[in-house]
Amino acid sequence: MFRVVKRTDLTKKQSVSFRLIAILGALLTTGIFIWFLGFNPLQIYISMLDGSFGSMYRFKEAIIQTIPLVVTSLGISVAFRMKFWNIGAEGQIIMGAFAASYFALYWSNLPIGVLLPLMFAASVVAGGIWALIPAFFKAQFGTNETLFTLMMNYIAQKLIIYIQYGLWKDPKALGAGKIAMFTDNAALPEVFGIHIGWIITILLVVLMYIFINRTKRGYEIQVIGESENTARYAGMNVKKIILTSMLLSGALCGIVGMFQVSGVNHTLSYQVANGVGFTAIITTWLAGLSAPVIVIVCFLFAVLQQGGTFIQTAFSIHASVAQLVQGMILFFVLGSEFFIQYKLVLNNKADSIIKKEAV
Amino acid sequence: MNNEVYIKIENLTKTFGPVIANNNICLEVNKGEIHAILGENGSGKSTLMNMLSGIYTPDSGVIYIKGKHVSLKTPKDSMSMGIGMIHQHFKLVEVLTAKENIIAGQKGSFFVGSKKLSEKIRKISEKFGLTIDPDKKIYNMSVGEKQTVEIVKVIYRGAEILILDEPTAVLTPQETESLFNILRKMKQAGSSIIIITHKLNEVMEISDRITVLRKGETIATVNKEDTNATELTNLMVGRAVDLSINRIEKKNNEIILNVENLTVVDDEKVKALDNISFKLATGEILGVAGVAGSGQKELCEAIAGLYPITSGKIEYKEENIVGKNPRDIIKMGISMSFIPEDRLGMGLVASMGMVDNMLLKEYQNQKGIFIEKKAAKDLSNKLIKKLEISTPGVYHPVRQLSGGNIQKVLLGREIESNPHLLITAYPVRGLDINSSYTIYDLLNEQKEKGVGILYIGEDLDVLIELCDRILVICNGKITGIAQATKVNKEQLGLMMAGEDMTTVMGVGA
């Protein structure tokens, strides 16, 4: 009936319109479902937007959700450019948060100007090391980085659970498994009502763009991602580049951990990463690994998540409906990627000509 | 000759996106005829044959087989109409025997008695002078034997029309000769044979009629008796072409590369190069001939520092470079250029434009952490003018350029680095005649400048015309190094098959 043909002729405009059509399709399909549940789909959609843009407070919340997604996506994009499938961002965030929390909790008498940079540096180192371990084993013994980084997530998470309910348990929490709140000098200051991480994030996006497009190492990473043979042919030290780049990838994810404990939660819990490490894989991929596009995609994602939470309370819809809307939009957008690369052609075209002539 | 028409194709058209691969192609093949399809790369030969074998469906046009209107939608349809395709890359299961490969995928073959089958295969073999051992495993076979199995397979399945895609590309001259004998016998038995090739001398030797394709269109169908190689080339290229290659006399004889007792082992611990020794002088082109996979790739990569060396010596200007990686070699100031066989997988970065590809080896000499692209851009523009590279722009991904232009980008970059030693593997593979001659000219230009060139080639005629000496390699061993002026194709063929030069050329050679 149909056959799949690779597209070669799609303009940028067309591919954008394809994605927009996909989102419309998702909204339409979910709309029918919402309508069956007895709600007005249009009302639901409007209030989803309302959840992020309805008030200054909600908008700030959306930005606060965007920040960790962007920085994690930047980290993942470095690894993905080398075709190193780092799905261990979750664990790298946790370890960054862990290291930052150590200084926040045990060096809290330091002045804020010393403590915050110390926490920042600690998160960079811890996240970096957590990514370096699988990279080392891959470079040295050819282990599978996908499984390795995934497993490192669980190790990180269980470690924090152990600490949360044991070593670092807050004695004032009346027996609950909680770590103590940070003191004020371990909290990121706010600018325009949002923790200062947003400024650092913008800075990191710009730096990443320059790093990939203007530096030697960025060039090397791109060559390795395309073909390791070419990199070897050009005299690049492939192992060394993979190791240092993974250190960078993990360090960026580690920073996210510091942002979350110091800027948002003001304490450490094993849920600190909250799935950001996995969501960022999707946003990175959808953004085509490009730093500026990552910002846009991550913001839209944050809006979607925020809207989902909002309609739960506004319409007392079950949480699963909100997730359904999110899932449907994702499904359609990812599905549209197929149609951006391929098209279906009716197979009977050639046959019908033959039939006509035969008659 | 029986003039019954077996295949008739009328106005066949096939497009891929904006590319018209076949445009109103017409072709007639008679019973008992060997029909050559001649055309340069990208002229639409393969597309046409893939439509005949049911792999592609035509956009428009009609195919008649034995006067019957057919629509070939799958390879099975095509097979049931008696069309058998023999691909350039064999489709055989290595771990099975010839017999098992022949019956694989056949309906009901599960119950066919082994004896009966062997008998049938023997009959087919005898009829056409094919010699195969039905119980021999494929991985124990030579390339020629594998090809024979492919032929028996399609005949066994009832093929009366045989399509061979570049069948001689992987064969020695001797194996080619025996293939041609088989084809002649099949023709006498009434089969039709379509042979796709771009080797003119083979076309003139084997075919009855020739159809020339150019840019997706049928240019002409001619009888062999009424034509000659020059006319065919002109039809193929679209204008008169001078087919001779100049051999520039080499001037100075300073040794630039000295390889002694070089041995390397591959992943399976098999010796890919076995005790290789040779010398290369400045201003000399040393050709390397051999059946594909005889160790050419390993030889190039070993010299370029990309392949681990088990034992032996590689001296560049009397300096041993064994154990050095490409980076060390660049740092030592050795100007050596290696143009690998795998252009987009090794020599160039496929998704990047010319500018970024120019930087590939040069960027390490830049100071600081930032990369400066201005010089690379100028170089790209210079090469576009000098080598007539056609590209939409210096930032256009090289992957999307034609094979000839890709090769010009690679060769251009390497030559611009002013090497003293140039190693090039199959530089004209996949290129059309014009581009090939441009490449030969470029190599000769380098030779004149005193560059030592190691040229890994596959077309023996070209090797004999272009090179000063030809080194023949077989299973990782050198079977001889001959003066190009004193050796012929047959002698090279025997050496490629493993005969020693002294036995081939007589004592004193």
Hey, what amino acid is at B492? L
* Chain B CB contacts of A9 below 8 Å: 17-18
What is the per-residue pLDDT across A248-302, written as a single tens digit (0 to 9) for each?
Answer: 999 999 999 999 999 888 888 888 888 899 989 988 988 888 999 999 989 988 9
Q: What is the pLDDT of residue B327?
A: 80
Q: Which of A284, A279, A268 is nearest to A156 (CA)?
A: A268
* Residue B220: its H or E element: strand B217-223
Q: What is the pLDDT of residue A10?
A: 66
Q: What is the pLDDT of residue A219?
A: 92
Query: Among 1.10.540.10, 3.40.50.970, 3.30.110.30, 3.40.50.300, what is the CATH number of B244-335+420-509?
Result: 3.40.50.300
**How large is the greatest C-alpha to C-alpha distance in chain B, in angstroms?**
76
8 Å CB contact of B349 and A226? yes
How far apart are the two ends of chain B, measured CA to CA in Å? 46
Residue B444, min C-alpha distance to chain A (Å): 25
What is the per-residue pLDDT across A291-339, written as a single tens digit (0 to 9) for each?
Answer: 999 999 899 889 888 888 888 888 888 777 777 877 887 788 788 878 8
A12-36 and A41-53 helices cross at what angle (nearest 10)? 120
**How large is the greatest C-alpha to C-alpha distance in chain A, in angstroms?**
94
10 Å CB burial of residue B459 (0-12, 13-18, 19+) is middle
* Chain position carrying tokens 């060396």: B309
Which parts of chain B have pLDDT scores under 70? 1-3, 17-18, 105-113, 240-243, 250-252, 332-335, 507-509
Q: Which of A321, A322, A283 is nearest to A300 (CA)?
A: A283
Give the residue from chain A lying closest to B338, CA to CA.
A233
What Cα–Cα distance (Å) separates residue B167 from each residue in A358, B87, B149, B162, B255?
36, 8, 13, 12, 39
Mutate to test the interface with B, among A227, A238, A240, A357 (most CBs of B within 10 A): A227
8 Å CB contact of A236 and B327? yes
- What is d(CA B86, CA B360) in angstroms, rounded to the nearest whole number? 39
Q: Which of B5, B66, B12, B10 is nearest to B33 (CA)?
A: B5
- What is d(CA B116, CA B502) in angstroms, rounded to the nearest whole number? 47
Q: What is the pLDDT of residue A78?
A: 95
Provide Rg for chain B, Cα atoms.
Answer: 25
Boundaries of CATH 3.40.50.300 in chain B?
5-237, 244-335+420-509
Q: What is the pLDDT of residue B508?
A: 44
What is the per-residue pLDDT across B264-285, written as a single tens digit (0 to 9) for each?
Answer: 988 778 888 999 999 999 889 9
In chain A, residues 165-224 whose CB comes closer than 8 Å to chain B: 214-219, 222-223
8 Å CB contact of B351 and A9? no
- What is d(CA B353, CA B333) in angstroms, rounded to the nearest whole number? 27
Overall size of chain A counted in residues: 359
Tokens standing for residue B245: 């290659």
Residue A351 has pLDDT above 50, yes or no: no
> Is it true that domain B5-237 has CATH number 3.40.50.300?
yes
- The DSSP-derived string for B199-241 is -HHHHHHH-SEEEEEETTEEEEEEEGGG--HHHHHHHHHSS--
C-alpha neighbours within 13 Å on the C-beta side of residue B300: 27
Mutate to test the interface with A, among B15, B68, B307, B369 (most CBs of A within 10 A): B369
Taking the CA atoms of B315, B321, B322 and B325 in sequence, report the sign of the dihedral they define. negative
Give yes or no for a contact between A123 and A258, defined as CB atoms under 8 angstroms apart.
Answer: yes
The reply to whether B205 touches chain A by the CB within 8 Å rule is: no
Q: What angle do CA B485, B488, B493 make, to 5 degrees?
A: 135
Q: What is the pLDDT of residue A354?
A: 42
What is the per-residue pLDDT across B93-124, written as a single tens digit (0 to 9) for each?
Answer: 888 888 888 877 666 555 556 777 778 888 88
What are the residue ranges spanned by the domains of chain A?
A: 66-288
Q: What is the pLDDT of residue B259?
A: 93
pTM: 0.76
Residue B404, min C-alpha distance to chain A (Å): 19
Q: What is the DSSP letter of B347?
A: I
Q: Pairing state of beta strands B311-316 and B255-265?
A: antiparallel
* Residue A288: its H or E element: none
- What is d(CA B423, CA B303) in angstroms, rounded to the nearest whole number? 9
* Chain B CB contacts of A215 below 8 Å: 369-371
Main-chain dihedrals φ then ψ at residue B414, nearest 5 degrees:
-70, -40
Residue A241 has pLDDT above 90, yes or no: yes
8 Å CB contact of A235 and B345? no
Give yes or no for a contact between B299 and B287, defined as CB atoms under 8 angstroms apart.
Answer: no
